[in-house]
Amino acid sequence: MNPESSEDQLDRATSEIRADAAAARVRAPLPERKIVASVRRAENDTGHVTIAELARHAGPTFVDQAFRAILKRGPDPAGLERQMAALASGANKIELLGDLRYSAEGRRAGTPIPGLAPRYFVAKLGRVPLLGALVRWIVALASLPHILRHQRATEASLAVQFGELRAALQAAEQRDAEQREGLAALSIAADALSERSARLEEHARALDATVSDLRGLVLAMNHWTVEVRRSIDAIDAAEAERRAGEDEAAAARIARRRDLDTERRERIAARAAAFAGALPDRARVLDLCGGADWLAALVERGCRVTSIETNSALHRRARERKLDVTFGDPLALLERTSDASLDALTLDAARIGASVPTVLGEAQRILKRGGILLIDLGEGAPPDAAALSAFAARVPLDAGALVFVLP
């Protein structure tokens, strides 16, 4: 088959558009224009209207236009109903126009309608008993040529309308056939869609099974994770218990040694007195593992002391004595302490152990100028001279403690 030329395409489109327009006209008739006529009339307002202008309308439009032209207002509901009833009972338009024009309101409006008066008179004469019948016959006979012309015009108009209706009917039939074809195509498409839907359902079921398996796996993994976490917690608890036991043992050893040292209490009191005497009032002091007794002695002498303890048992006992002691890593505490913020630093060399050189390095940073460093030697060895090179003087406070001053 030859492809349609562009000329043929446009011809076909215009034919179809014309048929569509005819159907649209029947489907959705446009109300008659009103406002434009009145605007144009206002421009040329000669005041009069003609019978032909008014009579070309029909039904409610005729009544509306007659009211507006003659009485200069729209019809009230009662007036519209009355005039429509009169038209329905066979009254002619001349009679209705005359009734409006020669009513009291119409006479006041005074709209000129050329030729209305004699025709209205004849129409009214037709209402007179007996004489009216004769008048109607005479009028009918006189109007016969006009009626015949009107009838022929009506026939022609009806033929045109019949043609348009036939065209509209053919267009409707064509659309009906097209719609049937469309429905058949839709049915085929629906079948295809249904088949596709079934395949999709099958895929969905398979996907559902996979999801179910995955959910089982996730639950199993979750169960396993919980078990692992419990095991780790148990290990952590055992480790903490072991450390606590070690701390208890170490604390017991320290306590036994101190119990054996009968001069310890006096020595600490004397050391604290001498040490505090070298410090300003309310001096800020940091103590590293010096023990609850040393801490309490400094507090008694007006020092503001913060202490850190690495043994949980000793820490608990110091806290029981309402002393300001934290549990943790001394080096971490030193790192968090600001530069030149302390008047003194005290430490137990035996307890700090291998970390002493690092502590001394930090001490240079956190002590104020003229700040004091006290090292309790206890059973430990004095630190290397190199680690203490930044400090100006070494002052033996007593047999067990050395004091250094930051220049």
Partner 1 sequence: MNIGILVPVLGDRDAVGADAIEMAMALERLGHRVRLFAHSTLGNVGQVAKPGMLAEFCASPEDLAIYHFSIGWPDAVPLLRSLRCRRIVRYHNITPAHFFEGYSTEYVNACAFGRAEIAPFAELECELYLGDSPFNLEDFLAAGVARERTAVLPPFHRIDRLLHAHADLALLDRYQDGAATWLSVGRLAPNKGHLNLIDAFAAYRLAYDDPSARLLIVGRADPRLASYTAAIRGLVAQRGLESSVHFLSDIDEGALKAAYLVADALVSLSEHEGFCVPLIEAMALGTPIVGYTGGAVAWTTGDAGVIWNETDPYLYAATLARLREDPSLRHLLRERGFRRMRDAFSTETLTRTLGEVIGRFA
- Residue 279 to residues 29, 43, 267, 375, 395: CA-CA distances in angstroms? 110, 113, 19, 16, 15
14 sits near partner 1 (criterion: CB under 8 A)? yes
399 sits near partner 1 (criterion: CB under 8 A)? no
Which one, 48 or 107, has the nearer CB to partner 1? 48
DSSP code of residue 348: E
- Please calculate the CA angle 343-348-352 and round it to the nearest 5 degrees: 105
Which one, 174 or 326, has the nearer CB to partner 1? 174
**Min separation Cβ 222 and partner 1, Å:** 51
18 sits near partner 1 (criterion: CB under 8 A)? yes
Helix (H, G, I), strand (E, B) or coil at 282: coil
- The identity of residue 23, as a single letter, is A
228 sits near partner 1 (criterion: CB under 8 A)? no
Whether 250 contacts 311, CB under 8 Å: yes
**Min separation Cβ 21 and partner 1, Å:** 4
Interstrand relation of 325-327 and 342-348 (parallel, antiparallel or unpaired): unpaired
Total site size for partner 1, rule CB under 8 A: 27
**Min separation Cβ 220 and partner 1, Å:** 53
Which one, 13 or 249, has the nearer CB to partner 1? 13
- The identity of residue 347, as a single letter, is L
**Min separation Cβ 34 and partner 1, Å:** 6
21 sits near partner 1 (criterion: CB under 8 A)? yes
- In DSSP terms, 404 is beta-bridged to 373, 394
DSSP string for residues in 44-83: T--S---HHHHHTS-HHHHHHHHIIIIISSPPPHHHHHHH
2 sits near partner 1 (criterion: CB under 8 A)? no
**Min separation Cβ 152 and partner 1, Å:** 24
322 sits near partner 1 (criterion: CB under 8 A)? no
Binding string, residues 22-61; x marks residues near partner 1 by CB under 8 A: x-xx-xx-xx-xxxx-xxx-xxx-----------------
Distance CA 254, CA 89 (A): 130
- The identity of residue 101, as a single letter, is R
Which one, 3 or 118, has the nearer CB to partner 1? 3
**Min separation Cβ 7 and partner 1, Å:** 8
**Min separation Cβ 79 and partner 1, Å:** 22
Which one, 41 or 264, has the nearer CB to partner 1? 41
**Min separation Cβ 37 and partner 1, Å:** 9
Binding string, residues 198-227; x marks residues near partner 1 by CB under 8 A: ------------------------------
**Min separation Cβ 20 and partner 1, Å:** 4
- Assign residue 279 a region (left: φ > 0; alpha: ψ between -120 and 50; beta: otherwise): beta
**Min separation Cβ 110 and partner 1, Å:** 23
Which one, 168 or 298, has the nearer CB to partner 1? 168
Helix (H, G, I), strand (E, B) or coil at 389: coil
> Which residue reads 């009662």 in tokens?
78
Which one, 35 or 354, has the nearer CB to partner 1? 35
Q: Would you state the structure tokens that stand for residue 315, as one six-digit string?
A: 């820490």
Q: In what helix (H) or strand (E) does residue 12 lie, and over which residues does it extend?
A: helix 6-27
Which one, 20 or 248, has the nearer CB to partner 1? 20
Distance CA 344, CA 305 (A): 9
Whether 116 contacts 98, CB under 8 Å: yes
Query: Which of 16, 178, 202, 324 touches partner 1 by CB under 8 A?
Result: 16
Whether 375 contacts 402, CB under 8 Å: yes
Which one, 46 or 338, has the nearer CB to partner 1? 46
Interstrand relation of 304-309 and 325-327 (parallel, antiparallel or unpaired): parallel
- In DSSP terms, 396 is beta-bridged to 402
> Which residue reads 């152990």 in tokens?
353
Which one, 161 or 341, has the nearer CB to partner 1? 161
Which one, 128 or 186, has the nearer CB to partner 1? 186
Query: Which of 1, 2, 6, 336 touches partner 1 by CB under 8 A?
Result: 6
**Min separation Cβ 5 and partner 1, Å:** 10
Helix (H, G, I), strand (E, B) or coil at 329: coil
Which residues of the shown chain bind partner 1 in the complex (CB under 8 A)? 6, 9-10, 13-14, 16-18, 20-22, 24-25, 27-28, 30-31, 33-36, 38-40, 42-44
